[in-house]
Structure 1
Amino acid sequence: MRILPFEAYYPNKDLISSPELFFDEVSNQYIEFKKAGFFKKTGAKSLYVYEISNTLNTHRGLIASHDVRDYTENKILGHENTLAEREQQIMQLMMLRKAMIKPVLLTHEPIEEIATLLQHYIENTQPFLSLYLENENEYHKVWAITEKNDIDTMIEIYRDKIDTLYIADGHHRSSTTLKLLQNHHLTGKTQDASAILSCYFAFDQLKIYDYNRVIDVFSIMSPATFIALLSEYATIKPIKTGKKPGRKFVFTMYIQKEWYIVKWKKKYIQAEIKQNTIILDTTLINHWVMEKILQIKDVRTTKLVQYFEGKSGLNPLIKEVNKNPNLVGFCIFPVDISEVVAFSDQGLNLPPKSTWFEPRIKNGLLVKEIV
């Protein structure tokens, strides 16, 4: 893999009293913020150690610029289709800003040498940027790797030890940037100016949460009809308290303030296995519940489904379902990183809204110019 150091812009803490508000607004106001002095410049081409920590987890990774050739040579693999409308939005903003304000999140097999070098900087140097986000109870810290020997070492490790990278988050950012570069709309003066801003976390530094659904079921059919139809495909048992499923091929369901645990019948799991080598719980929900029972033709575009990331727990889903007796909540077992890798290696796309990766990187934390 070809990573490159770059000179970054980063938030000027002296002018930012609310980091949350700054990160929320920077996507649409980057040009104004930069002109007003809300960003500083690192002053040297560097690689950057990045740590995000909260009471539950600590995630450590690297931020660098990535040579576009690794994308064109299919060394960086995705697992999602992209939408033309979203690509157009990103393209317009990128051309206006002349900058990339959020990195593509890439992941790879754990490499001991990378972890050791990251740990060295965290333990022996001071971060040049440290921000606390009160609403999320989360710390974001960044250290600069400026020593030439250390930069060269990290570049060599990525070049020699990593053959494939996987896009965890940022499919639209990467595809849009690639198109602009290939069409010569981004013509930086240096090699790193025309490369893609990227953040790298090893598999063991990522967490994949469940991505749950609230579906407007009872505007289509009665509760009795839905339960009867679902019983053909799965066994349904009431449970006293709400909980998330503990294993694959099981989901929990919240209907009119009652909870149920639902287990797919083996013959329907086997039917999916005949069609697909990798079976996800989201695939089963999409196929048997949405398509077969509810007759939803396109799960990607339907207005009958809302999505709730699992990091926030059950309460947001419960609150939404309690608003409307027609709604049903579905809690789904999370995808494993090995399944994401397997889909990507086979050139397959995960079903929409299958994964919620953590950490989430903020707009404007580190910015790379493209002029």
Structure 2
Amino acid sequence: MSTLLPFKAVRPVADKVALVTCRNYDDYSPAELAAWLNFNPYSFLHVINPAYVHAQKITLDKRFKGVAHKYQDFKNDGVFVSEEEPVMFLYEIQTKTNTFTGIVAGTLIEEYKANVIKKHEDTLQYRVELFKDYLHQTGFNTEPVLITYPDKTEINDWIVKKKKEQPLYHFSTTNKEKHTLWRIGVDSEIAWIQNQFESIPELYIADGHHRSASAELLYDEDNHLGNPNLKGFMSFLIAESNVKIYEFNRIVRDLNGHTKDDFLALLDEHFIVKSKLQELWKPQDKFEFGMYLDGEFYALFYKQENPNPGLLENLDAQILYDTVLHPILGIEDLRNDERIEYIPGKQSILTIKELVDEGEFEVGFMLFPSEIAEIKALADNQLIMPPKSTYIEPKFRSGLMVYEL
């Protein structure tokens, strides 16, 4: 049984929503960030980075308090409005290649604890603690956890019907995305959606493992204060068939002391290695890997010596780690080793070629993206994928919706 909660959302006024909302803070280059902050006084980036105006270097404690104060300034200036009653929303994102539609609602911490809301990625405790402190001091969150649910005909049909209604917002962004938001505010409609999700036994986190873990930690520490908003966290729930899963490709700075010939010979133990010369070759199926080394592309076909691999051992990202990254290239810690970096699979493999050709990196690896069934199977068995195994869309815009604590 899965529970959805309406909440008293805070959101931008309609005539400023396109100016307020922004991509994730980390997606902006320093120059791009400076441009937005200098020329758009309504950007939510001003809330996220309140010290920018004075080019201050401040402690995290002061920064979090500054975020809270700047957010309150936006509310006092009428940039944000609050829903009078708890509601949910239907949200659609149209990119150049995909259309994503999901429900924005609260989900229960207790169901997260009980593994009704399942996870497949590990978290770093310091990041969980940091974001918990952020939530505690700012008193809000604007980045929902992306959660998938099994496709249901009834919900799909309702979404089609709901989209025919007048939306709250319909706006475009500078990266040529279209965003549309509908309010779900009628009690009977909210109850119907809740009833639909009560028949879904399990939900799966696609993106936002640190956010959900931080919400749980804050709940454990502050629930005694009696704040009902702490019992849930904001989620963007989307049908399994509607998420887009990309791989994370890997680039490594050196060959760990091996010559090119020695490295290729070592790969031969676990892979059939075929040169593709200058062909921009990408894996076409599971157990296939692309590689770019010394101006040349290669196809690596895993020999699958183990006839009965476990779920985790069967994962392409784990195979690459177990056969190449760790034993040959000497990379143990995939999160913190500075010799390895990650490129989202939605970027062209020319990015990998350019980075290797420039000399900062020596070899790049291209993976085949995981499927949702693979992710669910790992979560069902409480197994954890290697770091940076998946890059999942859609991505929610910061400042579109605020869940106050």
Question: What is the CA–CA distance in structure 1 between the aligned matches of 2:126 and 2:160, rounded to whole Å?
Answer: 41
Question: What is the CA–CA distance in structure 1 between the aligned matches of 2:44 and 2:291, rounded to whole Å?
Answer: 35
State the Cα distance separating 1:210 from its structure 2 match.
Answer: 1.5
**Aligned counterpart in structure 2 of residue 84 of structure 1, from 115, 122, 125:** 125
User: 1:183 is matched with which residue?
Assistant: 221
1:262-273 alignment to 2 at 5 Å? 262-267=300-305, 270=306, 273=308
Matched, 1:205 2:242: yes
Percent identity between matched residues is: 30
1:51-62 alignment to 2 at 5 Å? 51-62=92-103
State the Cα distance separating 1:19 from its structure 2 match.
Answer: 4.2
Aligned length in residues? 363
Q: TM-score under structure 1 normalisation? A: 0.91
Unaligned runs of 5+ in 2: 23-35, 37-42, 51-66
Range with greater deviation from structure 2 (21-30 or 6-15): 21-30
State the Cα distance separating 1:200 from its structure 2 match.
Answer: 0.3
State the Cα distance separating 1:188 from its structure 2 match.
Answer: 5.7
**Aligned counterpart in structure 1 of residue 192 of structure 2, from 146, 153, 168:** 153
Give SS of 1:312's match.
coil
Give SS of 1:229's match.
helix
State the Cα distance separating 1:291 from its structure 2 match.
Answer: 1.3
State the Cα distance separating 1:142 from its structure 2 match.
Answer: 1.2
Kindly provide the CA deviation profile for residues 239-275 of structure 1, in whole angstroms up to 9, marking residues without a partner as x: 14112110011111111221111111232xx17x445
What is the aligned-residue RMSD (CA, Å)? 2.1
Question: What is the CA–CA distance in structure 2 between the aligned matches of 1:333 and 1:72, rounded to whole Å?
Answer: 32
Amino acid at match of 1:266: Q
User: 2:264 is matched with which residue?
Assistant: 227
**Aligned counterpart in structure 2 of residue 131 of structure 1, from 166, 171, 194:** 171
Unaligned runs of 5+ in 1: none
Matched, 1:337 2:358: no
Kindly provide the CA deviation profile for residues 133-192 of structure 1, in whole angstroms up to 9, marking residues without a partner as x: 222x21222110111111110011111x21000111111111111111122258465x45
Residues 251 and 361 in structure 2, CA contact (< 8 A), matched pair in contact too: no
Residues 281 and 298 in structure 2, CA contact (< 8 A), matched pair in contact too: no
User: 1:10 is matched with which residue?
Assistant: 11
Residues 235 and 265 in structure 1, CA contact (< 8 A), matched pair in contact too: yes
Question: What is the CA–CA distance in structure 2 between the aligned matches of 1:54 and 1:346, rounded to whole Å?
Answer: 34
User: 2:30 is matched with which residue?
Assistant: none
Range with greater deviation from structure 2 (22-31 or 91-100): 22-31
Residues 52 and 138 in structure 1, CA contact (< 8 A), matched pair in contact too: yes
1:16-27 alignment to 2 at 5 Å? 17=19, 19-20=21-22, 21=36, 22=43, 24-27=45-48
Matched, 1:259 2:294: no
User: 1:98 is matched with which residue?
Assistant: 139
Residues 4 and 192 in structure 1, CA contact (< 8 A), matched pair in contact too: no
Kindly provide the CA deviation profile for residues 280-310 of structure 1, in whole angstroms up to 9, marking residues without a partner as x: 1111110110111122232232111110111
Question: What is the CA–CA distance in structure 2 between the aligned matches of 1:328 and 1:294, rounded to whole Å?
Answer: 10
Give SS of 2:326's match.
helix
Residues 218 and 326 in structure 1, CA contact (< 8 A), matched pair in contact too: no
Amino acid at match of 1:359: P
State the Cα distance separating 1:325 from its structure 2 match.
Answer: 6.4
**Aligned counterpart in structure 1 of residue 386 of structure 2, from 339, 351, 355:** 351
Question: What is the CA–CA distance in structure 2 between the aligned matches of 1:330 and 1:18, rounded to whole Å?
Answer: 38
Residues 60 and 205 in structure 1, CA contact (< 8 A), matched pair in contact too: yes
Q: TM-score under structure 2 normalisation? A: 0.84
Residues 79 and 343 in structure 1, CA contact (< 8 A), matched pair in contact too: yes
**Aligned counterpart in structure 2 of residue 169 of structure 1, from 177, 182, 207:** 207
State the Cα distance separating 1:364 from its structure 2 match.
Answer: 2.0
User: 2:329 is matched with which residue?
Assistant: 294
Kindly provide the CA deviation profile for residues 317-359 of structure 1, in whole angstroms up to 9, marking residues without a partner as x: 2222222165211100101100000000001001111111110
Residues 248 and 391 in structure 2, CA contact (< 8 A), matched pair in contact too: yes
User: 1:112 is matched with which residue?
Assistant: 153
Residues 213 and 307 in structure 1, CA contact (< 8 A), matched pair in contact too: yes
Residues 21 and 397 in structure 2, CA contact (< 8 A), matched pair in contact too: no
**Aligned counterpart in structure 1 of residue 282 of structure 2, from 218, 235, 244:** 244
State the Cα distance separating 1:43 from its structure 2 match.
Answer: 3.0
